[in-house]
A and B are shown apart, each in its own frame.
Chain A
């Protein structure tokens, strides 16, 4: 299957297979006017299968959100048809308004205007804790 290359824009590569649509929605790509392509289950020498998203424009990316969802994503910045920059992600130390605290006893459950902030407590096990109640986030 072939999808046209992009002139100037962003390619999100090495997305874990099956996560492409979730990222598409979280980045609100359906609201973009430019061409956006999602390739699902593309062949990958590294992972076997992967998803890819191509965005035919430069947009602001929420790196924390992307890093949290899949730290293995590679971000390719393309300018004038050439690869300009390759960025690798990692689990962010802090997440602001990316995930919500599900503890019904937490102040964030009643105080509407508070930002939901989590800090990385265990990188290996990908455990984030709410800064208010310390409860670990359950996916």
Chain B
């Protein structure tokens, strides 16, 4: 790397080489976590979560703790100065005085991009509304690499809320970097991928199709990436109620799938994957959650410039 990456707002902030290096570091940490248990000693991570989250926040905190660092922060806007009307810019400028790195989730799109202009320390976008969620994408990439042994030449089905599902947008962008990947977008009409994502797919010259039923494409997929229809992204409850159970993956539907399919899900799930599917070896969403911690350890090390001390 010529110049160290300072922030991670979108997965596009990472060059191909940087991404490759980070995935390799994630895998190395996974193989021998003890070796990295003190690399962040004396460093602090601030988790600024203006919106509720379990997995992302806890995986960031677990990652920093396992690297020997410490964590501070808040887990809802109500318990921060945002409740008093403080701007995001002022909050991060203040927190930048206390912490070495910030992981931020905010309901407004672009909030972390605005934050990194003021923070003075590296900012990681831990989810900004329906926009980006790059650390989920890193998690997904590490999972795919470990499950499939490659990141190219795959048929990737993405199913559910493809409109507000930010993980889907980031994952598509990331997988477009690798040759031969084909995308099958499975969603109701109302939850299609946004226009800018369709534009990206076309610009990249990728093969992609939109379908309404998952059954019609099940046997073609290498990966099935399920998503939850998120109540918090809807302005009216009626639309949510109508769309929430459009797709439910159960053992019956899996019968049509290939034996080497990988079923992924960013979690939390509600009804979209039947609990009975959990025992199927093709279900890898809990392994995916574990990958999330290791790739965040790699990310924290990278943004703090500590990866250079490690041979990758």
Is the pair B113, A131 in contact by a Cβ cutoff of 8 Å? yes
Is the pair B87, A112 in contact by a Cβ cutoff of 8 Å? yes
* A106-122 vs B, Cβ < 8 Å mask (1 yes, 0 no): 11111111100000000
Is the pair B106, A107 in contact by a Cβ cutoff of 8 Å? yes
Question: By CB atoms of chain B within 10 A, which of A129, A130, A134, A136 has the most?
Answer: A134
Question: By CB atoms of chain A within 10 A, which of B108, B111, B130, B131 has the most?
Answer: B108
In the bound complex, residues from chain A placing their C-beta under 8 Å from that of B230 are none
Is the pair A114, B114 in contact by a Cβ cutoff of 8 Å? yes
Is the pair B131, A134 in contact by a Cβ cutoff of 8 Å? yes
Is the pair A131, B110 in contact by a Cβ cutoff of 8 Å? yes
Given A134-B131, A134-B196, A136-B196, verify A106-B109 contact (CB < 8 Å). yes
In the bound complex, residues from chain A placing their C-beta under 8 Å from that of B128 are 107
Q: Which residues of chain A in 22-63 are interfacial with respect to chain B, using CB atoms and an 8 Å cutoff?
A: none
Given A131-B110, A132-B113, verify A111-B130 contact (CB < 8 Å). no
Of the candidates B87, B88, B131, the one whose C-beta lies within 8 Å of that of A133 is: B131
How many residue pairs link A and B with beta carbons under 8 A? The number is: 55
A91: min CB distance to chain B, Å? 18
Across the interface, name the chain B residue whose C-beta is closest to A134: B196
In the bound complex, residues from chain A placing their C-beta under 8 Å from that of B114 are 107-108, 111, 114, 132
Is the pair B113, A111 in contact by a Cβ cutoff of 8 Å? no
Q: Which residues of chain B in 84-123 are interfacial with respect to chain A, using CB atoms and an 8 Å cutoff?
A: 87-89, 106-111, 113-114
Is residue B129 within 8 Å, beta carbon to beta carbon, of the partner chain? yes
Q: What's the tally of chain B residues with a CB closer than 8 Å to chain A?
A: 17
Of the candidates A108, A112, A113, A136, the one whose C-beta lies within 8 Å of that of B110 is: A108
Task: Give CA–CA (A111, B129) in the complex, Å.
Answer: 15
Q: Which residues of chain A in 70-99 are interfacial with respect to chain B, using CB atoms and an 8 Å cutoff?
A: none
Is residue B238 within 8 Å, beta carbon to beta carbon, of the partner chain? no
Given A111-B87, A111-B88, A113-B89, verify A103-B195 contact (CB < 8 Å). no
Main secondary structure, interface of B, reads mixed
Task: Give CA–CA (A133, B113) in the complex, Å.
Answer: 9
B145: min CB distance to chain A, Å? 27
In the bound complex, residues from chain A placing their C-beta under 8 Å from that of B89 are 111, 113-114
Task: Give CA–CA (A109, B128) in the complex, Å.
Answer: 14
In the bound complex, residues from chain B placing their C-beta under 8 Å from that of A112 are 87
A112: min CB distance to chain B, Å? 7
Task: Give CA–CA (A108, B131) in the complex, Å.
Answer: 14
In the bound complex, residues from chain A placing their C-beta under 8 Å from that of B108 are 105-107, 109-111
Across the interface, name the chain B residue whose C-beta is closest to A114: B114
In the bound complex, residues from chain B placing their C-beta under 8 Å from that of A107 are 88, 106, 108-111, 113-114, 128
Across the interface, name the chain B residue whose C-beta is closest to A133: B109
Is the pair B196, A129 in contact by a Cβ cutoff of 8 Å? yes
Task: Give CA–CA (A129, B194) in the complex, Å.
Answer: 14
Task: Give CA–CA (A49, B89) in the complex, Å.
Answer: 47
In the bound complex, residues from chain A placing their C-beta under 8 Å from that of B109 are 103, 105-107, 132-135
Task: Give CA–CA (A135, B128) in the complex, Å.
Answer: 14
A-B contact list, 14 entries, CB within 8 Å: A105-B108, A105-B129, A105-B130, A106-B109, A106-B110, A107-B114, A111-B87, A111-B88, A112-B87, A113-B87, A113-B89, A129-B196, A133-B109, A134-B131
What 4 A-B pairs have minimum CB-CB distances, sorted nearest first? A132-B110, A133-B109, A107-B108, A107-B110
Known: A105-B107, A107-B111. 13 other contacts (CB 8 A): A105-B108, A105-B129, A105-B130, A107-B106, A107-B128, A111-B108, A113-B87, A114-B114, A129-B196, A130-B110, A133-B131, A134-B109, A134-B196
Chain B residues with a Cβ under 8 A of chain A: 87-89, 106-111, 113-114, 128-131, 195-196
